[in-house]
Amino acid sequence: MTDVSYPVKGQCQCGNVNFTLKTAPKMVIACHCKECQKLSTSAFSITCVVDAKNIDIQGELKQTSRTTDSGNENIGHFCSGCGNRIYQLNPAAPDMIKFKAAASLDDTRMIVPAMHVWTSEKQDWVVIPDDVQQFEKQR
């Protein structure tokens, strides 16, 4: 991973939500499940797992909620202006943020997936490097 100077700032597409990532993510995951494909309108979604204390988020957020395949609740927080997803969390583990807006950071060099999950639902044309962990379903 390339050296990144923290904190790293970023903002949603319209600029109404600003965030500061204070430290490197604990993990970067690419999820290929159908829900993440819908969320990202792409082949997969990138998630940076961070401790809630290590990210500051400012701006008006709205939220959605859905039940995952494991039965957990997944609460998504998004910008009320442009609709960009900022983060998700499981209310049973509120100290862990699944930061979805990582590509909106001013410096994105730390966005290198160490793991790919739900590869059973990935698009056929996506090629995952052999040296990266892969799981057919959620880890």
Report pLDDT digits (tens) over 91-139. Answer: 889 999 999 888 889 999 989 999 998 889 899 999 999 999 998 887 5
Model confidence band, residue 30 (pLDDT cutoffs 50, 70, 90): very high
* Structure token digits, residue 78: 């998004």
* Structure token digits, residue 63: 């939220």
Residue 74 to residue 66: CA distance in whole angstroms: 5
Give the pTM.
0.84
* Structure token digits, residue 16: 């109404």
Closest CA to 138 of 122, 119, 114: 119
| In contact, 133 and 116? CB cutoff 8 Å | yes
CATH topology of domain 8-122: 2.170.150
- Residue 97 pairs in a beta bridge with 50
